[in-house]
Amino acid sequence: MMIILKNIVDKGTDMAGRTVTQDDVAKEAGVTRSMVSYVISGNKSRAVAPETRRRILDAIEKLDYRPNKAAQVLKQGDVAFASKSIGVILCNADVFRRPYYAEILAGIHAQAHENKYSVRFIRFFDELRDPVLFNKLISQEEIGALILVAVDQALKSEEDRQIIEKIRERIEKTVCVEWKYDGLSSVLFDRQEAAKKAAQYLLNKGYGEFVYIGQNDERVEGVAQVVHENDGKDDFYAGEAFNMDGGYDSIKKVHEEGNLPRAVVCGSDEVAIGVLCYLNEQKIAVPEQVAVISIDNIEFSEYTFPPLTTMNVQKYSMGARAVDLIVKDNAGQNENAFVITLPVNIVERKSC
């Protein structure tokens, strides 16, 4: 029996099966090895001419060069090697289906890439309750920094808060995004102020009576402040909702109870989309019969019927600024904690 062996060229090897090194790349590009190292590492302490960078990148592609991670770890040490790796913890798996959080994650990834950092993993907070996985992920040998996205939504017990405290002890550069935790650096928007501005906008437009449907957090306090200053009432809270289904169900309940409001402040655009869907089904004209305003300004809000008036939240910037804090060594803790509150602004459309 005859066995025919085919030539196989592995990634990172030449035709002879030899590992391609930075010396090979330097020779192909006609530059020094140190110049190749500068380009590969993203080191910005030394300027590299665009044409030189292009030659190096072309040589890398031609030779199919890949960095040897094991060699880098041996050379730098586990902690040094992991210093430019960022871990991301999300509140729950539902975040992946939410366009609002997709923009935050896009900002994280883009800014990390721009600064030659890598996103080492994206995990959910519930997973950190497994001590084995926690010890594996939350380690300076695995990551140099950690971003906690909307994790306040996952904190249900004292045990959960103890997990945050353990994170603080292990990872110095920990940044909260879209929420705030005492002693940690944060990038967020002022939920209370955003809701207050939305409610005040309705009031200024002549909508004297309105209700709130949305998340039961600081947004409620923002609406309450405007309501109390206007007429002192306390019955403005129509229902808790987090998504389109919640918005739909809440306004339906209000309608069926015979308490259809003149206007609605929604805690998020997704909640507002559910509200609009129900009102459209019932042929209740917006804004002629019921006006709607929201908070977020996700892309879909421009294409609802009618287009949604909403408070613009700088979602992409929240993710990007979190990475900036890490890259610039400003992601401190306790008295060195750096808190960035991004402003919101009204985007006027046709729903109110």
SS3 245: helix
The pLDDT value recorded for residue 68 is: 58
The reply to whether 328 falls in a domain is: yes
User: Which of 145, 113, 120, 107 has the alpha carbon at shortest distance from 319?
Assistant: 107
| CATH number, position 273 | 3.40.50.2300
Provide the mean pLDDT of the chain. 88
Across 31-51, average pLDDT: 76
d(CA 200, CA 226): 6
Query: Is the domain of 169 the same as that of 232?
Result: no
d(CA 278, CA 158): 39
* Cβ pair 197, 311 in contact under 8 A: yes
Query: Is the domain of 96 the same as that of 12?
Result: no
The torsion region of residue 206 among left (phi > 0), alpha (psi -120 to 50) and beta comes to left
The reply to whether 74 falls in a domain is: no
* Cβ pair 227, 236 in contact under 8 A: yes
Query: Is the domain of 213 the same as that of 228?
Result: yes
d(CA 210, CA 352): 12
The reply to whether 37 falls in a domain is: no
More confident residue, 14 or 319: 319
Q: How far is CA 176 from the centre of its chain?
A: 10
Query: Is the domain of 51 the same as that of 2?
Result: yes
The reply to whether 118 falls in a domain is: yes
The pLDDT value recorded for residue 2 is: 39
User: Which of 276, 317, 311, 278 has the alpha carbon at shortest distance from 294?
Assistant: 311
| pLDDT single digits (tens) 80-119 | 658 899 999 999 998 888 999 999 999 999 999 999 999 9
Query: Is the domain of 154 the same as that of 106?
Result: yes
Query: Is the domain of 94 the same as that of 182?
Result: yes
| pLDDT single digits (tens) 180-236 | 999 999 999 999 999 999 999 999 999 988 999 999 999 999 999 998 887 767 678
Q: Write down the H helix ranges in the chain.
A: 22-29, 33-41, 50-63, 69-76, 78-82, 99-114, 131-137, 158-170, 191-204, 218-230, 244-256, 269-281, 315-327
Query: Is the domain of 320 the same as that of 303?
Result: no
d(CA 251, CA 187): 32
* Cβ pair 59, 25 in contact under 8 A: yes
Instruction: Indicate whether this model's pTM tops 0.85.
Output: no
Query: Is the domain of 184 the same as that of 324?
Result: yes
Element (H, E) at 206: none
Query: Is the domain of 87 the same as that of 174?
Result: yes
Range of weakest confidence among 19-33, 57-71, 239-253: 57-71
User: Which of 183, 251, 164 has the alpha carbon at shortest distance from 213?
Assistant: 251
User: Residue 337: which residues within 8 A CB-CB, separation 6 or more?
Assistant: 183, 184, 185, 186
Query: Is the domain of 288 the same as that of 210?
Result: yes
The reply to whether 349 falls in a domain is: no
Residue 240: band (very low, low, confident or very high) from pLDDT cuts 50, 70, 90: very high
The reply to whether 36 falls in a domain is: no
Q: Which amino acid is at 91?
A: C
Query: Is the domain of 289 the same as that of 233?
Result: yes
User: Residue 10: which residues within 8 A CB-CB, separation 6 or more?
Assistant: 17
Parent domain of 145: 79-189+316-344
The pLDDT value recorded for residue 58 is: 85
* Cβ pair 115, 327 in contact under 8 A: yes
The pLDDT value recorded for residue 91 is: 95
Query: How many folded domains does the chain comprise?
Result: 3
The pLDDT value recorded for residue 10 is: 37
The reply to whether 238 falls in a domain is: yes
pLDDT of residue 339 exceeding 80: yes
